[in-house]
Copies of this chain bind each other. A is one copy, B any other.
Amino acid sequence: MPVNGKPRDNITISDRGLAYGDGVFETIRIHAHKPVLLERHLERLAKGTRRLQIPLEQSLLEQDIAQLTTEFPAQGILKIIVTRGSGGRGYVPGAAPTPSRILSLHELPDYSSTQPGKGIQAFVCRQRLAIQPALAGIKHLNRLEQVLASLEWPNPGFMEGLMLDMNDHVVEGTRSNVFWAESGRLMTPVLTGSGVAGTLRNHIIDTMQDVVEVEGCTLARLCSADEVFFCNSINGVWPVNTLVAGETHTDFGRLKRRFSESCTDLFDSLLANQDI
């Protein structure tokens, strides 16, 4: 658990990550002792620190990761938090802050009993996402909206909650991105006002660019889709069997899963590449 390159499992209470959520994070799948989509994760992290004007020396972070490599498990999660560090005067950061780099290893959640890759039940969260272009797309540490949405969980039978923004647009899952199929195209919401641009989402967009569109989406549009799935870089692709919005249940055909299946294959091939 290195903090700034040294074995440590705590940070000072003056760290701005704690005080203001002044930082960004990544959770990276470890498979066959190697991180999956590492470059994309580091790219998004760098985008986040640039947006927040946190002067991270990326090479130091890469050293941290290299040092931890021998401890990577066969399956697991590498979590990286980068904060602006301590200092400054209240919200005003110091002139030359020293960012904190916090790495930790975690177990992969065990979903073998529910097999969400075969299809899940999801619910529509009452908690909305605020529109804030300055923070949209990056994976910053201000995550109270997701925490509040997670407190709504109706029962453990649901595997994900769908979040809309204040303008009734579909944005993402509480911890994943969402895609839907329509007229033979694969679509995913535009994330310029809120949401996190996931690494698996971006990998799907880039790899399948001939069929993918990034568009605004209402709940009605999503509910009339041919198929819907959530995805993230930890768990891969979860097709939606049923989406529950209050009293309304929308069932998606379990036979038409063309894009869920091709994106599952894409994720599986990312893992398989690590086995080589």
Contact = CB atoms under 8 A, between A and B. Distances in A.
Interface of A: 1, 3, 8-22, 25, 52-53, 81, 83-84, 89-93, 102, 104, 109, 127-128, 130-132, 134-135, 140-151, 153, 166, 174-175
10 contacts: A9-B12, A11-B11, A15-B18, A16-B147, A18-B141, A22-B144, A84-B147, A93-B150, A132-B145, A134-B148
Contacts of A19: 25, 81, 141, 143
Contacts of A131: 130-131, 166
A21 B151 contact: no
Copies in the assembly, this chain: 2
A20 B141 contact: yes
Q: Which 10 A-B pairs have the closest CB atoms?
A: A21-B21, A130-B130, A142-B142, A20-B143, A130-B132, A10-B10, A91-B150, A92-B150, A91-B146, A18-B18
Contacts of A90: 150, 175
Nearest to A53: B151
Given A10-B10, A12-B9, A130-B131, A147 B91 contact: yes
A222 to B, nearest CB: 21
Nearest to A174: B91
A91 B3 contact: no
Nearest to A92: B150
Contacts of A104: 13-14
Given A130-B130, A132-B145, A134-B127, A13 B91 contact: no
A124 B36 CA distance: 44
* Most chain B beta-carbon contacts within 10 A, residue among A3, A90, A175: A90
A52 B147 contact: yes
A34 to B, nearest CB: 22
